Amino acid sequence: MRKSVIARMDRVVNDFVARCRYFHEPMTRGRARMFVLQHRLNTRQRNSVLKLKVATNCPDWDTRIGIIQACSEEIIADYKHGGGRPHWRILEDLGVRIGMRRAVIQQAQPLPSTQLAWAAWEGLMANQHWLEGVVANTCAERVNIPGYGTGLIRKVGWFGLERHRWGKLFTLAGADLDFFELHERADIEHSDAGWRAVERFARKLRMEDAVVAACERNLRVWEHYLGGIAAAGDQFKG
């Protein structure tokens, strides 16, 4: 029997988690700080520009509104998991907690690698079939769900791993690390919506191979984006 499209996408996510160096190399102060600077910008760009292009292209009402709902939690206010703050603001507050100046965080510019990732995602999200776009919207959030890769990340997901690593590095605990903790819950919902859309529509639209390929390509861009944060973080003074 042919493997289901969901099983094939899960396999692609699993391979990404297994090979992406950012997950396997040690977290450092420089990398953590660079993550704050870049990921705050990245989350704003993806959720106020890129994911909305996918929503615009999506003919299924429930899926479209689900995308906009998830984006609004990320960029406007998350009352469900974030106490009313948007996710980029929660990350900004985490940056301040690890000793960064808020003004420095707010004035950050995207690295060349981040800009390249945005351009690549634009190509994968704005001008593709909406179902490929839905995969682009959600495949990286999928990594926050336990079950991919091996060891701790398999047990607790990517942001569960970060909660652990950042906690040790900066001696933080509990609510201090809410940025990571809230994603362990929020991204189950966000990524489930994407995986469900694929389950409902991929076969009907004869797009099984296309969505698996989209998952692979988008995660390659994530790998580049995270590699850029690691490289710049290793040079980072501040």
- Looking at 20-28, 60-68, 141-149, 199-207, which segment touches Fe ion (CB under 5 A)? 141-149
Radius of gyration in angstroms for the set of CA atoms belonging to the chain, rounded to a whole number: 17
Structure token pair of residue 137: 């919207």
Residue 87 CB, nearest approach to Fe ion (Å): 3
- Looking at 12-20, 59-67, 70-78, 166-174, which segment touches Fe ion (CB under 5 A)? 70-78
Residue 44 CB, nearest approach to Fe ion (Å): 11
Q: Who's near 175: CB < 8 A, 6+ residues apart?
A: 181
Helix axes 29-45, 61-75, angle to 10 degrees: 130
Residue 237 CB, nearest approach to Fe ion (Å): 28
Among 8, 53, 81, 190, binds Fe ion (CB under 5 A): 190
Nearest CB to Fe ion, comparing residues 113 and 191: 191
If you ran DSSP here, which 8-state letter would residue 173 be given?
A: -
- Looking at 7-15, 34-42, 71-79, 217-225, which segment touches Fe ion (CB under 5 A)? 71-79
C-beta of residue 186 within 8 angstroms of C-beta of residue 78: yes
Nearest CB to Fe ion, comparing residues 53 and 208: 53
Report helix, strand or coil for 204. coil
Residue with tokens 């985490």: 94
Q: How many residues does the chain have?
A: 238
Nearest CB to Fe ion, comparing residues 176 and 208: 176
- Looking at 2-10, 23-31, 158-166, 190-198, which segment touches Fe ion (CB under 5 A)? 190-198
First-residue to last-residue Cα distance in the chain: 55
Helix or strand (DSSP H, E) at 41: helix 29-45
Nearest CB to Fe ion, comparing residues 74 and 184: 74
Residue 146 CB, nearest approach to Fe ion (Å): 16
Binding site for Fe ion (CB under 5 A): 74, 87, 141, 187, 190
